[in-house]
Amino acid sequence: MTVEFILNGAPVSVRSEHPHLLAALREELDVTSAKDGCSPQGQCGCCTVMIDGKVQISCTYAVEKVAGKAVTTLEGVDEVERTRYSDAFAACGGLQCGFCIPGIVMRAKAQVDKKGAALERADMARHLGAHLCRCTGYVKVLDAIEAVAKGTLVDAGLPGGIGTSGAKYEAVELTLGDRGYVDDIRIPGMLHAALHLTLHVRADIVRIDTSAALSAPGVVAVYTAADIPGQQYVGIIYKDWPVFIGEGQRTSYAGDVLAVVVAETKQQAREAAKLVQVQYDVLRPITDPVAAIDDPELAVFGTKSNVLSVSAYARGDVDEALAASAHVVHEVFQTQRIEHAFLEPESTLAVPGEGGHLHVYSGGQGVWDDRDQIASLLGVGNDVVTVELVSNGGAFGGKEDMSNQGQTALAAFLLQRPVKCTLSREESFLIHPKRHPIRLEYWAGCDAEGHLTAVKVRGIGDSGSYASVGMKVLERAAGHASGPYRVPTIDVECTAVRTNNPVCGAFRGFGANQAQFAMEGVMDRLAESAGISGWEMRKRNVIHPGEVWGPGQIMDDGAGGAEVCLDQAKRHIDAALAAGKAVGVGLGLKNSGLGNGLREACAAVVRFRSNDGKVEVRHGFTEMGQGVHTVAIQTAVTELGIDPARIVVIVDTTRQLGFGQTTGSRGTLMVAASVQNACQVALAAECAADVDHYAEHVVDWTQKLGDPAVPNPTIHAAFGFAAQVVIADRSTGAIEKVVAIHDVGRAVNPRLCEGQIEGSVHMGLGYALTEDFPSDELGFPTNMTLRSLGILRPKDVPPIEVELVEVPQPRSAYGIKGVGEIGLVPTAGAVAAALHMVDGVWRNTLPMRRPTTDD
């Protein structure tokens, strides 16, 4: 059975068995500007097309219904109009990862076609309610649409050197959906894989029967743990995460994979994956992290304890200091689990080559980790596997661990055919690690004037089953537990606990958000006790250069940014109070880089091509919307004085230029420094053509947290600082505005930097107010649709005003501090303070308001 319709002006015919129009467009017709962020949920808007001139979500549109109709995708839009949109989005910074943008452009086009210059911003925001963007906070998206509607002239040019604003690298291609993500790549003879996940979070696997799946239409192979030629376990730090759970082994969380099914089409693979039969011996799930510490049974088979890690340090006698304090507070805070909700679900394509080589396309945040883990799984040397980075559609930390890379690579390796596996939205929710829920108990004191005397913290984080980087997240929560303040005595202990709940790991802010939500709450309560304002309390305690910070680090001159941000917040607070508003202020810091004694290194290559006059800048970090490629260009322009249009950025995975993950706000610092060094090498060689001008950047001066032999460890090489002011209506509690004042050291590209901050404030408001990803008593997540996560929609995002502060970071190229993670650190604390002014209620639990909409 086939269905005929008109696509972009030409007649086409597709098979009728596709689950929806989007699948027919992408899988059969290879039209890929419409992206699949959540099919068939119909909740992200990435798949928006026009049918007979009306915008439609194509992943909920039945294929039969399209018969005889005219479908328009971005590929079919008039070239002049395409340019108008791509120029506006590029010029306004209206995109980051870009995955959501083609769908948004189709929606915008419908509105602009209808209303032209009369299109109002608020009206457009309401229409964007059918769309999600996890990166931008919608501010610059709306700027771009407004520019198109009003016919405003824009400059879509690339930026110049460091400190200049300009379009993001590949902005035009991303806006139009022309720059492919992994799922957009097609290889002749490619097969499709789908995973079969466990039905129980803690169960012994008695038997896996793949016979029914194997005999399903189109199925080529089904693989299980028994087919692994090399090591079964992977993991970024501890190798405790099985790529498959096999017969005779035990599951540990809802994302455990039991089998991979490979078939001719994606639909066939997914249907057949449901036919895998598993006999379970179901065990009691361990889901309470506090009880798990003393539980005699282990959440994860083969481990020695349910305690994954303990991070602790102390200075002085805290109990004595608390007893002598004029004011003391004791509070318990509880933060929630959060899903990253990057718009592009994980996708991997593995292609066997000559001589047994395997080429893997991955959107992961650490392609060398992916390579090493895949090689170990296959039982081959690292040189047998190349992992090519495909810039992804958002990650925020959620693509550090392998998701489906291992199973896809195994299938391609064993079959010696190209295999692609793209997760459904539900599978993505189940598999990748989340933000930790942390219980934080605080005791804190100050003297009669509000000077902090002591802080004592006990934190317990639910890390889920496998380690991922859970111990590092709790280490970071411990390190940041006292916020950007001077505390004379301190005693902190944070524990990561293994349970059978979803795995928790890296997520923008990495433990700092949770700890500083609590610390800011403590600061406001102490301020009230001392009879001073929240701002005054912070002013009296803010850390200065040369002073000792929480874990003992003597802060460098970069720390001066904390007080500058706080001082700039004052006029916004005063103005809002004078206008009768409720106001809260939060102050935060976040390290950049890994720190804690780890040696960090990365390299870059600059190469002048004689054949076409282009200049290659090669580095090793993942572009995931944050703009690291644009940083590389701006650095090269600054150092070499060349036209940015000559530069080609390449993530070079044929040799090891990067070390570790693109994480911890370190991409900008490390890429700028290594490219700067490589340019210097090139200049010294008079920019000789067709030569690799290579240089490294190394940070090897940090020290471990909590080593009693080192009383003042430099645990981090750099910090970003931010003050945020949240302004609310006194009668309704509605958030009316957020002012985000950020010390970024040096803004490489102020417009893109501002966009990063707007996006993270949007994420921070969701974290504070509505977002949640709970799991039930059986260890399964309960919010399994994008809409149920409680992410703020465009019409609910208040105006966000960004002020950039530039207090340079010593020992960092151009003084850069990094901005990726700090953005939402102070937000929740500021929201809690503003809402307290509205109704007098202190809020210790996140989210403060539950989602009001569901499916």
CB of 87 to ligand FES, least distance (A): 17
* CA–CA separation, 633 and 637 (whole Å): 6
- Residue of 166, 394, 584, 790 interacting with ligand FES (CB under 6 A): 394
Site string (106-135) toward ligand FES, x via CB under 6 A: ---------------------------xxx
What are the respective helix, strand and coil percentages of the chain, to the nearest 5?
A: 35, 25, 45
DSSP state of 756: H
CB of 177 to ligand FES, least distance (A): 12
Site string (605-644) toward ligand FES, x via CB under 6 A: --------------------x-------------------
Two tokens at 676? 């700067």
Q: Which is nearer to ligand FES, 39 or 622 (CB)?
A: 39
- Residue of 24, 31, 38, 846 interacting with ligand FES (CB under 6 A): 38
Two tokens at 836? 């307290």
Match 């949920």 to its residue by tokens.
Answer: 41
Strands, E, within 340-481: which ranges? 347-352, 358-362, 385-389, 419-422, 438-446, 452-462
Contact 807, 564 (CB under 8 A): yes
Classify burial at 214, counting beta carbons within 10 Å of its beta carbon; exposed 0-12, middle 13-18, buried 19 or more: middle
Q: Return the range that interacts with ligand FES (CB under 6 A); candidates 95-103, 109-117, 251-259, 408-416.
A: 95-103
Confirm or reject binding of residue 100 to ligand FES (CB under 6 A): yes
Confirm or reject binding of residue 136 to ligand FES (CB under 6 A): yes
Return the half-sphere exposure (C-beta side, CA atoms, 13 A cut-off) of residue 597.
10
Contact 3, 14 (CB under 8 A): yes
Q: Return the range that interacts with ligand FES (CB under 6 A); candidates 97-105, 198-206, 436-444, 595-603.
A: 97-105
* CA–CA separation, 643 and 633 (whole Å): 10
- Residue of 96, 111, 365, 516 interacting with ligand FES (CB under 6 A): 96
Phi-psi region of 177 (alpha: psi -120 to 50; beta: other; left: phi over 0): left
Site string (530-549) toward ligand FES, x via CB under 6 A: --------------------
Contact 353, 359 (CB under 8 A): yes
Q: Which is nearer to ligand FES, 96 or 499 (CB)?
A: 96
CB of 28 to ligand FES, least distance (A): 17
Q: Which is nearer to ligand FES, 38 or 258 (CB)?
A: 38
Confirm or reject binding of residue 39 to ligand FES (CB under 6 A): yes
Sign (positive or negative) of CA dihedral 319, 322, 328, 334: negative
Q: Which is nearer to ligand FES, 42 or 461 (CB)?
A: 42
* CA–CA separation, 682 and 279 (whole Å): 62
Q: Which of residues 17-36 bind ligand FES (CB under 6 A)?
A: 36
CB of 818 to ligand FES, least distance (A): 19
* CA–CA separation, 623 and 215 (whole Å): 41
Classify burial at 316, counting beta carbons within 10 Å of its beta carbon; exposed 0-12, middle 13-18, buried 19 or more: middle
Strands, E, within 264-383: which ranges? 277-282, 307-315, 327-334, 347-352, 358-362
Q: Which is nearer to ligand FES, 133 or 269 (CB)?
A: 133
CB of 59 to ligand FES, least distance (A): 3
Q: Which is nearer to ligand FES, 137 or 464 (CB)?
A: 137
Strands, E, within 561-621: which ranges? 582-592, 600-608, 615-619
Run of H or E residues at 234: strand 233-234
Match 């250069």 to its residue by tokens.
Answer: 545
# residues contacting ligand FES (CB under 6 A): 26
Q: Which is nearer to ligand FES, 141 or 835 (CB)?
A: 141
CB of 345 to ligand FES, least distance (A): 9
Q: Which is nearer to ligand FES, 807 or 819 (CB)?
A: 819
* CA–CA separation, 375 and 361 (whole Å): 14
CB of 577 to ligand FES, least distance (A): 35
Q: Return the range that interacts with ligand FES (CB under 6 A); candidates 37-45, 346-354, 412-420, 833-841.
A: 37-45
Confirm or reject binding of residue 787 to ligand FES (CB under 6 A): no
- Residue of 7, 26, 33, 43 interacting with ligand FES (CB under 6 A): 43
Two tokens at 410? 């195994």
Phi-psi region of 458 (alpha: psi -120 to 50; beta: other; left: phi over 0): beta
Q: Which is nearer to ligand FES, 22 or 213 (CB)?
A: 22
* CA–CA separation, 762 and 854 (whole Å): 19
Q: Which is nearer to ligand FES, 110 or 575 (CB)?
A: 110
CB of 331 to ligand FES, least distance (A): 35
Q: Which residues bind ligand FES (CB under 6 A)?
A: 36-39, 42-47, 57, 59, 95-101, 133-136, 343, 394, 625
